[in-house]
Amino acid sequence: MKVKVAILGCSGRMGRNLIQAAHEHQSIELVGGSVRESSSFVDFDLGELAGIGAIGIKTSTQLTELTNADVYIDFTSIETTLENVQWCNEHNKALVIGTTGFNDEQVEQIKKAGQTMPVILAPNTSVGVNLMFKLLQVTAKAIGDYTDIEIFEAHHRFKKDAPSGTAVKMGQVIADTLGRDLNKCAVYGREGITEERKQETIGFATVRAGDIVGEHTAFFADLGERLEITHKASSRMTFALGAMRAAFWLSEADAGFYDMQDVLGLKE
C-alpha cells in the first residue's frame, strides 16, 4: 500500500528535503506540495524545486487543490500550521506537524483537533532524536535527582525559535520523569554574578551559527563524573525520512494526538 502525501510549505530548506524523501520512498506517493501565493515558485515542478529533476507535479497555492492526499506534512510557521490544522480537521485529513515554537495554548489547540482527526506533533522527526528522548527518560529516572542537568543546542543562523523545539522537548521529558514543572525549573541563560546553582533547575544554552543542521546534548553532572547524551544531525534528510515514517504510520491511525514516540513504539 502506498500512502498519498502532500508537502505543505514545500519551497523551504526542509520542504525540499521532504519532496525528495517522499518521491524516493517505496511506501509513499507524492501527490503535491503547497507554496504561498506570493512565492516565486508558484506552478513550479516539485522535482526541479528539490533538485532531483522534473517529476510532473506542480506546486499549488490552495489546499483545495491537494484534496487527493491521505496525509499532509507541515514544516511551515506557527500561524500557517494552525490554519492547516483547521483545514485538515474540516476535511477529515491526517497531518504530521514538524513546525516548532508553539506555546502551551497553541499546543492545546492542536490537541483538541486530535479529538476528531489523526495528528502528530513532533518537534523533531529524526528517529535518532526520539531514541534520545527515551534514553533521557531512563537516565533521569536513574540519576536525575542528584545531578545537575543542562541542555545544550546549536543550529544554523536562520533558525528563528530558541531554544529549539527539540531542546525544550528534552527538558520536558526530563522534568516529567522527575516530577518537576519545566515552566518553573527551566533557566534559559546566565549572565553576570549569579547565585549558586539550584540543583532542581534545568539549564538551557543556545548557539546560532553558520549552517549547523542540529546538535543537542543533555549533561547529567555530579561531583566526580558527568554523563552526556548527544545527537548530531549532519543532513536534514534524517528529519525528512522520519517524517515519511510518521506519515505512513499516521495513515492507519484513528483520530488522536500523537508524537514520534507513538510512531516508534517507545511509549510505556
- 71-74 vs 214-222, strand pairing mode: unpaired
Question: For domain 127-233, which architecture applies?
Answer: 2-Layer Sandwich (3.30)
Q: Which three cell numbers stand for residue 177?
A: 520523569
What pLDDT, on a 0 to 100 scale, did the predictor assign at position 193? 80
CA torsion sign for 251, 99, 80, 55 is negative
Distances (CA, A) of 103 to 49, 99, 136, 161, 184: 32, 12, 23, 11, 15
Helix, strand and coil content of the chain, in percent to the nearest 5, comes to: 35, 25, 40
Q: Any idea where the domains of the chain sit in the sequence?
A: 3-121+236-263, 127-233
Residues of the chain with pLDDT under 70: none
Q: Residues with catalytic annotation?
A: 155, 159
Q: Are 15 and 75 in contact (CB under 8 A)?
A: yes
Q: Which amino acid is at 126?
A: S
CATH number for region 3-121+236-263: 3.40.50.720
Q: Same topology for domains 3-121+236-263 and 127-233, yes or no?
A: no
What pLDDT, on a 0 to 100 scale, did the predictor assign at position 123? 86
Mean of pLDDT over the chain? 95
Of 124, 72, 112, the closest CA to residue 261 belongs to: 124
What pLDDT, on a 0 to 100 scale, did the predictor assign at position 108? 97
pLDDT tens sequence across 146-199: 999 999 999 999 998 899 989 999 999 999 999 999 999 999 988 888 889 999
Cis peptide before 118 (omega within 30 of 0): no
What pLDDT, on a 0 to 100 scale, did the predictor assign at position 267? 82
